[in-house]
Chain A
Amino acid sequence: MCPIKHNKHLLMATKSQFFVCLLFTGLMFSILPVTAADDEYLKMLEGEAADLQLDNKGQLKQEDKKAEDSASFGWGGELEGENIPSGLAKEDFESVLKKNFYGTYVFFKKLNSTDKDTVYYRYSKEQKPDLENVRNNIMTLLKR
């Protein structure tokens, strides 16, 4: 084997190893700042969040929700108990009746518009509306 040729091969191998190393190091350096910056960003986010205080005036508390509308019901008709939320607009009142108390809604629908308004008016005046009262009002007006 020619020693010169052998050395040439060795030199080429060393060169390519050097380039691979250089590439790898470059790659590492290009990834590291991104990760470091991300860590720094998350650290700053957490720092800000630690002192975070929301303006609580508009925050709905659990007890407010219960007091205000016995809000533990969904749109799907699975209303727990016989409570109807207070302070609903007329369209929402009808919508809640339709979706959660369809039986009551069927009778409500038979009322003329003035009587419907009367039912809604009486409901809106109640501090803690009771479905039983709504039903009685509907039936009284229907029987009239």
Chain B
Amino acid sequence: MKKSILLGVLMCSTAIATSSMAANLEVKITKDKQYSVVNHGAELVKVQRIQDTSHVIDGSFAKTSRPCPPFCVNPMTVADGVATVAELEVIKFMETAMHRGDGALIDARTPSWHKKGTIPGSINIPFTVFEKPVDDPELAEVLESLGAVERYDVGTVTRTMEQLGMFGGDQKTENWDFSNAKQLMLWCNGPWCGQSPRAIRALLSMGYPAEKLYYYRGGMQMWQSLGLTTVLPNEASEYASK
């Protein structure tokens, strides 16, 4: 009897020990995180690092030098109030804000870059769309998809009070209410890429609150350097790249 109990305990403890090692990757994201699962359109995609420890980066992101200008090194901070983030914050953002639906990861590159591969969960809104005139219908459509609400005929008194900081005026402009706008994390090709900084500056100029904007400066260059998963775009990620 004692023997069988002992055997049972032993089997259970082996099962537990093995289960904790079952998906044990050699190349983890952090000591405690092996991978993350992210929504990419209607699919769930596992984001992890390349497991081949002898692998070296291949392709265009192995390139070190491009003409500057225009491909110059960007400063760490793109604009006041806009936080610069790195890979772990991107993954955290995928797991929290994007999962809840109040955040969007934006591939701000032109469609020709996006279609070759992107970071899972990203939607492609090229910087050129954000730089369109404020009354452009495509820009309006994009802003609405990001949770901004277009405003019409705002009274002078209301606007004046908003400008004094009342009625959540810091989230509103004469044309847009950004109170329920999503948090946006924008990225492009890396520290030498000007596309996401331009998108961020354009968003700020139309009144998008700086605290809702994040700049992933490392972009595709760093994402690839760390061997993190990329995906080919699907319909959902090509929202504004037509």
Instruction: Tell me, rounded to whole Å, the shortest Cβ–Cβ distance linking A102 to chain B.
Output: 17
- Bound-state Cα–Cα, A84 to B98, Å: 22
Instruction: Tell me which residues across on chain A come within 8 A of B117, comparing CB atoms.
Output: 54, 56, 59
Taking the complex as formed, is B242 at the interface, i.e. its CB lies under 8 A from any CB of chain A?
Answer: no
Question: Range of interface residues on chain A?
Answer: 35 or more
Report whether A92 and B45 are in contact in the complex, using a CB–CB cutoff of 8 Å: no
Compute the total of residue contacts between A and B using a CB distance below 8 Å.
125
Report whether A87 and B195 are in contact in the complex, using a CB–CB cutoff of 8 Å: no
Interface centre among B16, B61, B227 (most CB of A within 10 A): B16
Taking the complex as formed, is B85 at the interface, i.e. its CB lies under 8 A from any CB of chain A?
Answer: no
Instruction: Tell me which residues across on chain A come within 8 A of B37, comparing CB atoms.
Output: 88, 92
Closest to B55 in A: A57
Question: Range of interface residues on chain B?
Answer: 35 or more
The answer, among B18, B50, B59, B228, for a CB contact under 8 Å with A53, is B59
Closest to A61 in B: B232
- Bound-state Cα–Cα, A117 to B15, Å: 7
Instruction: Tell me which residues across on chain A come within 8 A of B12, comparing CB atoms.
Output: 114, 117-118
Instruction: Tell me which residues across on chain B come within 8 A of A117, comparing CB atoms.
Output: 12, 15-16, 19
Report whether A74 and B42 are in contact in the complex, using a CB–CB cutoff of 8 Å: yes
- Bound-state Cα–Cα, A8 to B16, Å: 101
Report whether A125 and B22 are in contact in the complex, using a CB–CB cutoff of 8 Å: yes
Report whether A54 and B23 are in contact in the complex, using a CB–CB cutoff of 8 Å: no
Interface centre among A57, A65, A114, A118 (most CB of B within 10 A): A57
- Bound-state Cα–Cα, A126 to B44, Å: 20
Top 9 A-B pairs ranked by shortest CB distance?
Answer: A124-B22, A121-B19, A49-B112, A53-B59, A54-B117, A55-B59, A55-B58, A121-B15, A117-B16
Could you pull out 7 A-B pairs where Cβ atoms are within 8 angstroms? A49-B112, A51-B60, A57-B227, A59-B230, A88-B37, A92-B37, A117-B12
Question: Which residues from chain B sit less than 8 Å from chain A, CB to CB?
Answer: 12, 15-16, 18-20, 22-23, 34-35, 37, 39, 42-46, 49-50, 52, 55, 57-62, 66-67, 70-71, 99, 110, 112-113, 116-117, 120, 128, 194-195, 220, 224, 227-232
